[in-house]
């Protein structure tokens, strides 16, 4: 599949935003984050800004962005519609939490409940995003039970990376956050590795031979190209990344997105210095932020739509 910049930004930015929103809501509700007005403002504003920017960027990939609202009506059958509905719903408890935390400096009572509901709504929205791709049978790399867990794990990882930066800036760091980043990085790493092994090891269900029914006569190949110039399907559905480039990108992703948070979290757990922890939290944010962009680009670039059989 062609890795469109708008979709890459959408899935990475909104994933980090929902991860941060979920953690802010949960940790605010149970008291691991103080009810400090400016901490709440920066944390929730950053989460909502990432979510909103991601959702808006997703409309740029549509042929008619002005009609995007119509997708909301198909929530009974469409994961895209369910994602849109959940994205709107998630704003409601988030705004209640924002009012309590920033204006009233209160994260208890009804605002604690709003925080927990925000966390649940954020997780469900990320799941719906993942299922947009996991439900597509023509793309074997996406039609996998590992896609949704990967999306959720990466949202948690990027969310806690952002949370650590905010916590250190406001001197509200907690070893729980560092331990969570360590566990999230290891789980996301294991899930991504399992996903790569699965897509590399399985054979395509559809081939030219099965599509034409001529496999018994030998290998099928086209006599000539179906088109003299690229068309929409070729631009959107047919994209190949060299195996060597894919291998190098996977190593880079593992180093930046997974290994860096693991090493940084160990330093955060061991150190008592706010300055040292803050330095490593910012380093992790830069490396993991770039790493998740590479991961998402490769996720789209390695996907092979069945229609590519007609053109390759």
Q: Looking at residues 286-295, what average pLDDT do you find?
A: 97
CA distances from 292 to 109, 151, 155, 243, 310 (A): 36, 11, 10, 20, 32
User: Please, which residues bridge with residue 305 across strands?
Assistant: 139
Tokens representing 29 are: 């509700």
**pLDDT at residue 75 in the model:** 79
What is the rounded (10 degree) CA torsion for 174, 176, 180, 182? 80
User: Which sign does the torsion angle of CA 239, 243, 247, 252 carry?
Assistant: negative
Q: Looking at residues 2-7, what average pLDDT do you find?
A: 79
- For each of the domains in the chain, give its residue range(s) and CATH number, in order of start: 5-310 (1.20.1630)
Q: Supply the mean pLDDT for the chain.
A: 88
DSSP string, 123-158: HHHHHHHHHHHHT-TTBTTTSSTTHHHHHHHHHHHH
Of 97-101, 115-119, 208-212, least confident by mean pLDDT is 208-212
**pLDDT at residue 174 in the model:** 95
Q: Which one has a higher pLDDT value, 201 or 293?
A: 293
Q: Measure CA 116 to chain center.
A: 21
**pLDDT at residue 74 in the model:** 77
Of 24-33, 248-257, 294-303, least confident by mean pLDDT is 294-303
């Amino acid at each position: 599949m062609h890795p469109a910049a708008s979709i890459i930004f959408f899935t990475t930015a909104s994933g980090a935003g929902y991860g941060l929103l979920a953690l802010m809501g949960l940790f605010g509700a149970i008291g691991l984050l103080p009810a400090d007005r400016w901490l709440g403002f920066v944390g929730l504003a950053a989460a909502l800004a990432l979510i909103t920017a991601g959702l808006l960027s997703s409309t740029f990939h549509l042929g008619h962005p002005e009609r995007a609202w119509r997708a909301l009506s198909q929530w009974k059958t469409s994961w895209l519609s369910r994602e849109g509905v959940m994205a709107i719903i998630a704003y409601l408890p988030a705004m209640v939490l924002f009012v309590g935390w920033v204006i009233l400096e209160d994260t208890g009572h009804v605002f604690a409940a709003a925080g927990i509901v925000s966390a649940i709504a954020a997780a469900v929205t990320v799941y719906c995003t993942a299922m947009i791709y996991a439900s597509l049978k023509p793309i074997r790399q996406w039609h996998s039970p590992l896609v949704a867990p990967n999306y959720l794990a990466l949202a948690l990882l990027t969310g806690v990376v952002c949370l650590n930066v905010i916590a250190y800036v406001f001197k509200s760091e907690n070893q729980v956050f560092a331990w969570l980043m360590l566990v999230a990085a290891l789980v996301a790493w294991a899930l991504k590795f399992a996903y790569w092994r699965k897509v590399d090891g399985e054979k395509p269900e559809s081939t030219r031979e099965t599509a034409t029914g001529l496999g018994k006569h030998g290998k099928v190949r086209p006599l000539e190209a179906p088109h003299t110039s690229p068309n929409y399907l070729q631009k959107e559905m047919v994209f190949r990344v060299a195996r060597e480039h894919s291998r190098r990108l996977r190593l880079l992703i593992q180093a930046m997105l997974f290994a860096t948070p693991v090493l940084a979290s160990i330093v955060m757990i061991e150190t008592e210095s706010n300055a040292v922890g803050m330095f490593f939290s910012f380093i992790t944010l830069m490396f993991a932020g770039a790493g998740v962009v590479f991961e998402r680009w490769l996720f789209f670039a390695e996907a092979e739509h069945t229609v590519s059989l007609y053109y390759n």
